[in-house]
């Protein structure tokens, strides 16, 4: 257990896995795979959820 636990909420869309690498099935000349890196659209690659905003109804 870490000494200093973060109190920031983990993004519920990606569960903290904010960037994934997807293989295209093709390979580079050196034999390595061609990868696409995709970032979570909700947290913009941070892995943390933004704090909820308070909505004000009426006056």
Distance CA 23, CA 5 (A): 34
**Confidence bin at 52 (pLDDT 50/70/90):** low
Task: Give me the mean pLDDT over the 5-21 stretch.
Answer: 81
Taking residue 35's Cβ as centre, other Cβ atoms within 10 Å add up to 13
Distance CA 15, CA 23 (A): 21
Distance CA 59, CA 38 (A): 42
**Confidence bin at 12 (pLDDT 50/70/90):** confident
pTM: 0.57
pLDDT at residue number 2:
59
Using CB atoms within 10 Å of the CB of residue 16, give its burial: 0 to 12 exposed, 13 to 18 middle, 19+ buried: middle
């Amino acid at each position: 257990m870490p000494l200093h636990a973060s109190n920031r909420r983990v993004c519920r869309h990606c569960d903290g896995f904010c960037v994934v690498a997807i293989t295209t099935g093709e390979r580079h000349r050196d034999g390595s795979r061609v990868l696409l890196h995709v970032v979570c659209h909700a947290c913009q690659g941070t892995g943390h959820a933004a704090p909820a905003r308070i909505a004000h109804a009426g006056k």
